[in-house]
Amino acid sequence: MDDLLPGLSQSLNVHPLFVHFPIALWSFAFLLWTLGQFLDRKDLGSAGRWALYAGTLGGLLTVATGYIASNGLGHDSPGHDFVHVHRDFMLVATGFAILTTGLAFFLRNNASPKANWLVTGALFLTVTITTLGADRGAMLVYTYGMGTKTAPKGSGSGHSHGASAGPSAKSPADHHSSSNSKDSPTEGDHH
């Protein structure tokens, strides 16, 4: 498994595998549903409804994996209190998605234009709350390092990723291939 999926084998939990599905699918559902309303195209509305169904299923799996992941963090980890903010946003978003899914399902055959605009509004709220929650999830990863292993710090000496335009500039392919001791990685200088 390490050779086939090295990133997954290093993952502390599977929550990151699921988080993008509800974000993308609920947003896509909103886009399709709204276009269907404006263009009076039932096929777009139907495609939006199926994207909503798939996104809600993905949202339920994401909530479940997020719950499991948060239980493995420990209450003394940096940013732990912020986990609750992220969780609360995403639980509300998933709740809205479930209600919107039910509404879209019951209106699938004989909905009035006003009822369809109600679904559009509910999808807008779902996507808005999801965006706020996803932003807090990104802060957990990129600010607090939640769900990641700490990257080793490089020594910073004799090594640069800056944009050097001079004749001694190396291409990314030969970046570490120099026999020059100044550019050679030292023990512990792995990135």
Q: Residue 93: inside a domain, yes or no?
A: yes
Q: Residue 20: inside a domain, yes or no?
A: yes
What pLDDT was estimated at residue 69? 85
Q: Residue 120: inside a domain, yes or no?
A: yes
What pLDDT was estimated at residue 98? 97
What pLDDT was estimated at residue 27? 97
Contact yes or no for 51/97 (Cβ under 8 A)? no
d(CA 119, CA 159): 55
Q: Residue 81: inside a domain, yes or no?
A: yes
Q: Which domain holds residue 109?
A: 15-142
Q: Residue 96: inside a domain, yes or no?
A: yes
What pLDDT was estimated at residue 56? 97
Query: Considering only CA atoms, which of 109, 116, 150 is closest in space to residue 32?
Result: 116
pLDDT by residue for the chain (191 residues), tens only, comes to 678 888 777 777 888 889 999 999 999 999 999 999 999 898 999 999 999 999 999 999 999 999 988 887 766 667 777 888 999 999 999 999 999 999 999 988 877 878 889 999 999 999 999 999 999 999 988 888 887 776 445 555 555 555 554 454 444 455 454 444 444 444 444 44
Half-sphere exposure (Cβ direction) of 21: Cα atoms closer than 13 Å? 19
Q: Residue 147: inside a domain, yes or no?
A: no
Residue partners of 53: CB distance under 8 A and separation at least 6: 101, 105
Domain count, the chain: 1
d(CA 15, CA 12): 9
Show the beta-strand stretches assigned E in the chain.
none
What pLDDT was estimated at residue 130? 97
Q: Residue 169: inside a domain, yes or no?
A: no
Q: Residue 101: inside a domain, yes or no?
A: yes
